[in-house]
Structure 1
Amino acid sequence: MDQQELAAFLTLAEELHFRRTAERLHLTPGRVSQTIKKLERCIGAPLFERTSRSVRLTPLGEQLRTGVEPAHRRIREEVERATAAARGTTGTLDVGFVGATAGRVLLDVVDRLRCCHPGCEVRIREKQLGNLLWPLRSDEVDILLTQFPVREDDLTTGPVVIRESPALAVPAGHLLAQRASVTTEDLAGTTVLSVTGAPDYWVDHLIPPHTPSGRAVHRTETTTFQETLALVGAGRGVRPVGAASCQYYARPDVAYVPFTDAPPLEFGPVWRTSNENARVRAFASATRAFLDSRSGPVTF
């Protein structure tokens, strides 16, 4: 079955009328009839029952339609998507990132994007964890490489590109700094520094409101990560972080202790669903290609 036969068959199966099918395909009704007859000869049985007043699918025709229509639709959508991407990637893409690790990985993804789409200019901007999703909602950036989870109806999340083992940032002179590891139970009786403006589900994921034994965890908000570390160093609280912080944010007044029962910190791209365009899709493709080249996320 060639492309013309497939198009004629599926269109006639939808219209059940030779003239309307011919108009949609910019052919003559006679040409449509010839194409369908040729297809039926190849298959060896009628696909349509024809009378002077009606056209309807035979059981075999209905079976063929059910089998080929989803695949044909997917092929058409992919061709349309590729065409739009080829025509629409020229322009500027504003990409924000949160944290040093995300900035490092973002540069690798952008290099891959520019190789495939040289007409796409990328502007990279650092953002803070405070008001986590505001840069997207205010159109400051088209894509934000930020910490997960993000569960918002108007936002689309891409794949996880960074996964960090959890650690707890504590004052260097704190008793916990002498420990080989800590658990969520150790958060009771301490002040845990959170991020202002973050969704409740995000804060609860990082800092549970209670320990496993039911003891309350006291949380207080800070604005930026550097402010958080300054407060930790001054003995004002502790903060769950990723293992990469040990490398990128080493400080003499802060110790990083492995956090054994906390979830890993994961980062990935997020964008407004209503703002998705060819450049955003090209960035998402470059992200997947980056992950494929590494066989998975960057880990710490």
Structure 2
Amino acid sequence: MLERLELEAFLTLSEELHFGRTAERLHVTTARISQTIKKLERQIGTPLFERTSRHVRLTEAGQRLHDDLRPAYDQIEAGVEKAANAARGVREVLRVGFLGAAAGQLMVQAAQLFDRRHPGWRAQPRETQIVDGLRRLRAGDVDLLVVSLPHNEPDMVTGPVLFSEGRVLGVSARHPLARRDVVSLEDLAAVKMLQVAEAFPDYWRADRTPDHTPAGDRIEAGPQFETLQEALALIGAGEGAFVMGAQVSRFYARPGVVYLPLSDAPPLEWAPTWLVTNTTPQIEAFNQAAQDVAARVYLAIRR
């Protein structure tokens, strides 16, 4: 019989593939998560995760256990949530996914406005990672997701732009470019460009991780990453660079990482998306709340 912490630690680590973030989500120490997983592996009799200095991955046995446990756990959690919502008079819950601090703040404020405007409905913001946002939307884990454009998925609707921000290049403070005040797209040929691991379609990757500059100079591909924190760690270690929205200068200051404005890059735009088959009055109402909040606060983000 699995204890609650063992179950939650295993399923959360399966999702995050990072001991530190798993500990943060469960409000325990990293050491506690490590001990719990080791105890579970001894109990089952086989490793559930492959651990290296760079990655954490499910083993074949771990993947089978995850696939068996996840549906039952989600059903239990959904039942508890429905009961709690019923007790509070909430009839409908809309799960809104986001990536990054700026989108997170917008979703929280939009959720508050949505809840005030529509008694009986409730919006629940949920953070996603770069590699799993679209997957979670298609799986029904979130009903709506705020994404950075371009976004062109046939099974999804793209809503109006909520906010835009300038692009910056994150580089190691030890890189020669770090002494500059501003860079151009041609300067990308002087760095290795970090790659998002199996996250988005080719058209998005071409926009965010190009392999040539506008003049045709080759841009070298760097290591892959799965989360923003991994990207920042790689940048700080001098393993590569990455183009991000200007919000990182405000929300993700890191020792050893310098953010340089890109003088000739178009702004990044963020918009909601949802499945074509899931266009509901709740989503339309939430989008209106998000637009109203964005018009007041998030119309543009600048350095």
TM-score for the superposition, normalised by structure 1: 0.67
Question: Is contact 1:206-1:263 (8 Å) kept?
Answer: no
Percent identical among aligned pairs is: 39
Question: Is contact 1:90-1:279 (8 Å) kept?
Answer: no
Name the structure 1 match of 2:214.
212
Name the structure 2 match of 1:78.
none
Q: Spell out the pairing of 1:188-227 with structure 2 (5 A cutoff).
A: 188-196=189-197, 197-220=199-222, 221-227=224-230
CA 1:277–1:259: 2 relative to 1, 3 Å: same
Name the structure 1 match of 2:287.
284
What's the offset of the Cα at 1:232?
0.1
Q: Deviations over 1:29-78 (max 9, x none)?
A: xxxxxxxxxxxxxxxxxxxxxxxxxxxxxxxxxxxxxxxxxxxxxxxxxx
CA 1:291–1:102: 2 relative to 1, 3 Å: closer
What amino acid maps onto 1:98 in structure 2?
L
Name the structure 2 match of 1:273.
276
What amino acid maps onto 1:157 in structure 2?
T
What's the offset of the Cα at 1:298?
3.7
Q: Spell out the pairing of 1:2-81 with structure 2 (5 A cutoff).
A: none
Query: Which structure 1 segments of 5+ residues have no match?
Result: 1-88
Q: Spell out the pairing of 1:165-184 with structure 2 (5 A cutoff).
A: 165-184=166-185
Structure label with greater radius of gyration: 1
What's the offset of the Cα at 1:90?
4.0
CA distance in 2, matches of 1:178, 1:237: 16
Q: Spell out the pairing of 1:82-101 with structure 2 (5 A cutoff).
A: 90-101=91-102
Name the structure 2 match of 1:164.
165
Question: Is contact 1:182-1:258 (8 Å) kept?
Answer: yes
Name the structure 2 match of 1:228.
231
Aligned residues: 211
CA distance in 1, matches of 2:125, 2:116: 17
Query: In the alignment, which of 220, 234, 257 is matched to residue 254 of structure 1?
Result: 257
1:177 match: secondary structure: helix
Name the structure 2 match of 1:112.
113
What amino acid maps onto 1:96 in structure 2?
G
Question: Is contact 2:137-2:143 (8 Å) kept?
Answer: yes
Question: Is contact 1:156-1:270 (8 Å) kept?
Answer: yes
What's the offset of the Cα at 1:131?
3.6
What amino acid maps onto 1:199 in structure 2?
P
Question: Is contact 1:184-1:211 (8 Å) kept?
Answer: yes
1:125 aligned onto 2:131: no
CA distance in 2, matches of 1:238, 1:225: 12
1:107 match: secondary structure: helix
1:168 match: secondary structure: strand
CA distance in 2, matches of 1:250, 1:291: 24
CA distance in 2, matches of 1:123, 1:188: 42
What's the offset of the Cα at 1:268?
1.6
Question: Is contact 1:166-1:241 (8 Å) kept?
Answer: yes
What amino acid maps onto 1:222 in structure 2?
F
What's the offset of the Cα at 1:152?
0.6
What's the offset of the Cα at 1:241?
1.0
What's the offset of the Cα at 1:292?
4.4
CA distance in 1, matches of 2:206, 2:124: 32
What's the offset of the Cα at 1:145?
1.4
Question: Is contact 1:132-1:198 (8 Å) kept?
Answer: no
2:235 match: secondary structure: helix
What's the offset of the Cα at 1:255?
0.4
CA distance in 2, matches of 1:247, 1:232: 17
CA distance in 2, matches of 1:225, 1:291: 23
What amino acid maps onto 1:107 in structure 2?
V
**C-alpha RMSD of the superposition:** 1.7
What's the offset of the Cα at 1:217?
1.4
Name the structure 2 match of 1:264.
267
Q: Deviations over 1:111-142 (max 9, x none)?
A: 21111102112222110111441111111100
